[in-house]
Structure 1
């Protein structure tokens, strides 16, 4: 039996109200289309998706239609697409059918989701083709179980998961991160909490974090695999390998091979403008440093660019406007999308006397700290709430999130 394991596709992701919106939207569908084409060419028995097929739970109708179009070749080829829900796939109001459930009922995916008994135990019912629901499916002797995203308490559920499975040659789809390896800060479990899964499952197909990693038993045997996202979703992923796992099951053993995809180029650069006395000097510094650092690898696609400006300068940081910088960057690297973080600090005579050197970011954090500590009910949680406030601000400023994703920041466990 052979299958392809991918995760965190994030269909529907884009930069809203930006000239790059449609092109970036297409990137994620092109990535999934390429994986579907590989699935057919390799003649594997299944494509498994470890969660976050979509970027948000409440997707646009055009995203749903485009998803069906992209998955149609798999359906025509008779190759099942087996999926679980990630935290981004969730809808917080469950009075209506979700898009994932609709895809499953229409036969484009097989959505695996366990049932729960009255005492909290798991029950992995066989997948029902009529209802499009179930927790377990068997393909060529391999038993595939699906769990999805269950939040920060995932580690406490491992024993009940293992108890519910009594078959052999088992594969588990689980949208969860492992602390120490996962680059995300929510929805993880400890390494020691995950180890019992190795006794019940020969292959644990992880998702959630966008960085690839492999988890081993104490004896050094790999058993859990996170392919990361096949396309670069957020800034910070520019150095991660991007791809998926091609897995063969032979003689009772799962044999995975990581295969690279071709994500859009992403550049994250810190530009030190310290000592610049005016805006013109600062712009010249940006040009000089960008030209020296940007490596044109032959990829003709426009890169995604994040620019962090640092240093003490002799002019007010706000004078270095975003639109002026964008015009300069357009000539140098022609980025598809630019995000600029202005961490410049202003040098003044009083600063030099008093030793004060505060950036805009530091001033922002001080203001938030003062506001939060003014409420007695928030004492002891200042740092946590400051990080949350800044995360919400950054998400809104980027313009690529909706209400559900902002709600997920406030409620990471989906309560």
Structure 2
């Protein structure tokens, strides 16, 4: 079987190792922030054919020069993969320069800019929230349009942001004006425009759908319910996680989701991708589109698939790299309900103390421990996506899962401590 040569954007040790173990050749690109903030394993890095560090994923001049270098040296890339949210624009630009069809620049814009995403979904007849584009160089006009067309409250977030980072509920024109002024801070005299989006709030239960697609067919598809809608998570260490719902007990939900996903895939040209979709079940009973990304999910969502046979990232890699290895197979887990929670300090600062492995071992239903931000990490700002200690847990029912999540929070969160950064 011929080798697959991948150009991979962003450092994710688990995914890179899995790709290399399946015989893929790698050209790796990551940015200066990752080079200084990630733990770059030199032995793993040495297994790649080559690697390049660029100033920023948005430095298109450096990306263009890198593409020319690869062509000049005769490196033939079969596919470009983006392992993070912020590298998707750059990965699509690189793919275009190398003459590859995917990921396309158009798809990268649709997946990153929430205004383009909402416009495409609404144009395809997919139920989603009404929105308005906001500009920091037109604060008065932006506020007026929201007042006239949406009213308050609204949810405000960066147009091309990540998850729930820098996202807030805004309840008045005065609040919105303050948010836009903060977003413009430091650039008022330069004329630089920052774009944000204001959306009408969506009520109801929030779900995420994670899938691996090959030739438009789902090789893996899991529907999970968040313990609490992301906008209602007010501290990252409480009720912050999700439950992967078993298909045999939620067959009607899965059927509805698959029908909706087929319409979404047609609208966004999803054929050979990994996707993370967020939807709501509103009071009217319908499923409403919220957001989607063509990357694997954050938190411990990928690890939540392990009881079914493999980490979601491994299942995706099986579809990307056709090797001589035996394909991974899904199986029914020992417990019908699995999922994950995030535990984190209640205040920002340097983590000085965290729950120990010995403390966690007292809870036999904990299946996996993922430490993303450990002792010594400086948490500059608390938000729902501050992943610190993530635990994959099992349960016999959704009710028991929630009880166990609350039990772990009560027992382990007091072990966290932070101190001001020096």
Give me the TM-score of the superposition, normalised by structure 1. 0.30
Give me the TM-score of the superposition, normalised by structure 2. 0.30
